[in-house]
Every structure is written in C-alpha cells, then in structure tokens.
Amino acid sequence: MRKFFSLLLAVALLLPCCFSAAEESWADANLPHERMPETIEVIPWDQLSPALSGQHHYLLLCIDQWHSIPRPQDAPPPTGYNGVRRDLYGNTDGIVILTLDTRAKRIMLTSIIRDAIIRKPNSTDTSAKYGRINYVYNDYGPEALCKTISEHLGIPIEKYILFNFGQIQDIIDLPSLGGVDIELNANEIRYLARYAVPVGSVVNADGVDVHQNPRAPEGLYHFRGHSAVLYMRIRKADSQGDFMRTQRVRNVLSALADKCRSFSLDQANELANNIMEHNDATNMSLKEMLDAASFAYDLRSCTIEELRIPAKEDVRAILYANMLAQEVNWTSSRLKLADFLEHTKLTRDIDFLVTDDEDD
C-alpha cells in the first residue's frame, strides 16, 4: 500500500509538468524577436498529390496599387539603382484560395496573411532563402506565387486571377452587383470616417453615412466599390492587425457571393466575362472562367466556409532582414488545410495580438 501511495504522489508531482509542456505551443517558444527563420520544409511541385476529386482551386490576388504596371512575363526581380529590391509591380495585399467542390457541394475561402515568411522561389537544395509571401509576385511573377503557395500548403494551384484596387472597385460597382452589404463595428466605422469619399459610399438602411459620421451606429451597411476596398485594407482599427484584414477580405468576397445567389446562369456567365475584362492578369481562358462560373452557379446555395492560414498556434512575430513579418509553422498549416478541405467546418478568426508597425 505504501508503494501504491508513493506512485500516486509521483504521478501527481509529474502531471503539472506534463500539462505545462503540452500547453506551450509552437507559437509560444521563447525566441529572440530578431532572428533567422526556422528551416521551412516544403513539398516539391512534382511530388504534390492531385487535388481531391471534384475540387477546383483558384488563387485570387489583389496587389496594393490602384493603378498597376503590368508585370512582363519572365521579368527579373526589379531593383533600384543601388541593387536594393524595388516594389515596381506591386505586392499582393490580399491572397485568397477559392475552392469550389462540385463533389461534396462546398465553397471554401482560405486566406493567407500577407507578411508570412516563406521559402523563396530562388532557393536551392543547398541554399534556402526566405522572404515575405506578398513580395513573391513583384519579384518572380504570379506563376511563381502559385507554385510557392502550392508547395507550402501541399495542394496544387495552377489558376490565378490578379486584381488591383481599382479593378476590384469596378467589379463591386458593376450594375449586376451594385455594391456589398457588410456588418461594421464601432472601430471600423471610426476608421472609415477618416476618408473623404462621395456621399452615400457607406450607408445603412436609415441613410446614415459612415464617412460623414464617425459615431454612426454599429450594424449592416451598404458599400460602394471604393469604400469596400478601403474596408478590406483596414489593419489598425484593432489589435488584430493583418490577421483581421484577411477576415475583412473574406467578408467582402462572401458578401459578393451572397449577391450572386439569385443570379441566373446567364448572369453568372456575364459576371465571368466582366471579371475577365476587369483584371490585371490571369492564366485562365474564357472557357475556364465560364466553367468556374458554372461550378459556382451550381453551388450558389452553399454556405461559404472559411479558413485563415496560419492558425493562432502556428504563427509568431519575427524581425528578419529588417522586415517585420510572421513566422509560420507550415507543416502544421498543411495538416489543417488538408483537414479543412476534407471535412466541412466553419473557421473564423478569433482575437489576436500582433505587433505590426508598418504603415498602411
């Protein structure tokens, strides 16, 4: 009996240690803020498994310019006179994977934070190089960004559509869409009130204009295109920084999808044609765009499911090469995305506290 109680005492003493070790996640590791990123293991393009049956992935990209310079195919990374990296073609302010699953009858939006650290396309087997994911388009092109995201997340993504802010504004303002309806909180209202835009750009059912009234009540508001883009770019209205920015991008996309639920197939095809006209670059043919419109039309009654990469426990702030960025546990993120794509669930952002001192 004495031995039995001794064993119980030993277990009781060890249990707190076990629990405290388990509670410390990858994100909680005690590391210096300025450091080299951990080695990122990716899955080479030629070793990726095919997409799940019935799933079609499209990479939606928004660059941080209202009027962009088209990036020539195979252009070298732009640099300044002193050889320093130059933002000539724009950085991807929004990165969203749209997945249409015609077999399981699902629509999924997976957003990726813009300042995630990735293994750069010019890495080799013996020399890995790291940088921010939103720089890849400007430096290496959209195809390289598709490949980079595919290798980090373990799914093959070949089709992309690239927009600038002005093109997204024009699409939202198309007569067939006529703006979007979005729920606003008090912080977002105060943020939007800073901007001078035409009267009626963000109004509620009572005609209250957010841009004219920083104390407008919280609730549902109707947005015109320009203000919808401003909303998508909000980053400093709360402590969640770029993490909530990705949620706002998904909010706009979900609101647009809601507007399309009552479309006829002809209207869906017309919208696909308009998207072909209002984009900066795409490798999709008109037929492929119309096929995507047909998939979306068949799935128009589905609830849109959302995922944010990375999850809270898979990200930690880092200062690397004089860049404020976020180090991501890509191995864990791959597993979460695979689970998301295979099983129906709705994942929303929760509270994050992120240090991000960059300007908008």
pLDDT at position 33 is: 94
Residue ranges making up the domain that contains 146: 31-164+280-342
Give the strand pairing for 281-282 and 159-163. antiparallel
Over 60: is that where the pLDDT of 253 sits?
A: yes
Q: What percent of the chain has pLDDT over 70?
A: 87
359 compared with 266, residue with greater pLDDT: 266
Confidence band of 4 (pLDDT split at 50, 70, 90): very low
**Max mean pLDDT range (166-170, 259-263, 344-348):** 166-170
Amino acid at 309: I
Give the strand pairing for 55-63 and 92-101. antiparallel
Peptide bond connecting 310 to the previous residue in cis, omega within 30 degrees of 0: yes
304's enclosing H/E stretch is strand 304-309
Task: Return the SS3 of 233.
Answer: coil
Over 50: is that where the pLDDT of 56 sits?
A: yes
Question: Residue 149 falls within a domain, yes or no?
Answer: yes
Buried b (16+ CB within 10 A) or exposed e, 146-166: bbbbbbbbbbbbebbbbbbbb
Give the least confident one: 3-17, 19-33, 112-126: 3-17
Indicate the average pLDDT of the chain: 88
Q: Which residues on adjacent β-strands are paired with residue 100?
A: 56, 107
Question: Residue 195 falls within a domain, yes or no?
Answer: no
- Counts of helices then strands in the chain (DSSP H, E): 10, 13
pTM: 0.86
Over 80: is that where the pLDDT of 344 sits?
A: no
118 compared with 9, residue with greater pLDDT: 118
- Residue 212 has which token pair? 């004219």
Per-residue pLDDT reduced to its tens digit, 303-335: 999 999 999 999 999 999 999 999 999 999 999
pLDDT at position 17 is: 45
Question: Residue 146 falls within a domain, yes or no?
Answer: yes
Gap between the Cα atoms of 41 and 351, Å rounded: 28
pLDDT at position 216 is: 96
267: how many CB neighbours lie within 10 A of its CB?
14
When pLDDT is averaged across residues 23-50 and rounded to a whole number, the result is: 92
- Residue 247 has which token pair? 């949620």
Give the strand pairing for 315-320 and 304-309. unpaired
pLDDT at position 350 is: 40
Whose structure tokens read 């405290």?
20
When pLDDT is averaged across residues 92-117 and rounded to a whole number, the result is: 95
Confidence band of 16 (pLDDT split at 50, 70, 90): very low
pLDDT at position 22 is: 45
What are the DSSP calls for 19-59, one per residue?
HHHHH--GGG----SB-PPPPPP---GGGPPPPPTTEEEEE
- Residue 31 has which token pair? 């590391």
Question: Residue 225 falls within a domain, yes or no?
Answer: no
pLDDT at position 5 is: 44
User: Is 281:162 a contact under the CB 8 Å cutoff?
Assistant: yes
Question: Residue 258 falls within a domain, yes or no?
Answer: no
Over 60: is that where the pLDDT of 208 sits?
A: yes
Over 60: is that where the pLDDT of 88 sits?
A: yes
Gap between the Cα atoms of 341 and 104, Å rounded: 10
| Cα Rg of the chain (Å, integer) | 22
1 compared with 214, residue with greater pLDDT: 214
Confidence band of 358 (pLDDT split at 50, 70, 90): very low
pLDDT at position 236 is: 64
Confidence band of 242 (pLDDT split at 50, 70, 90): low
Over 50: is that where the pLDDT of 14 sits?
A: no
Confidence band of 357 (pLDDT split at 50, 70, 90): very low
| Among 123, 117, 150, 198, CA closest to 47 | 150
pLDDT at position 345 is: 58
Amino acid at 353: L
Give the least confident one: 38-42, 87-91, 280-284, 356-360: 356-360
Confidence band of 81 (pLDDT split at 50, 70, 90): confident
Question: Residue 229 falls within a domain, yes or no?
Answer: no
Number of domains in the chain: 1
Over 70: is that where the pLDDT of 240 sits?
A: no
52 compared with 13, residue with greater pLDDT: 52
pLDDT at position 82 is: 87
Amino acid at 9: L
When pLDDT is averaged across residues 244-269 and rounded to a whole number, the result is: 90
Amino acid at 14: L
Question: Residue 13 falls within a domain, yes or no?
Answer: no
pLDDT at position 281 is: 93
| Among 86, 90, 106, 88, CA closest to 98 | 106
CATH number at residue 131: 3.30.420.590
User: Is 192:231 a contact under the CB 8 Å cutoff?
Assistant: yes
Question: Residue 233 falls within a domain, yes or no?
Answer: no
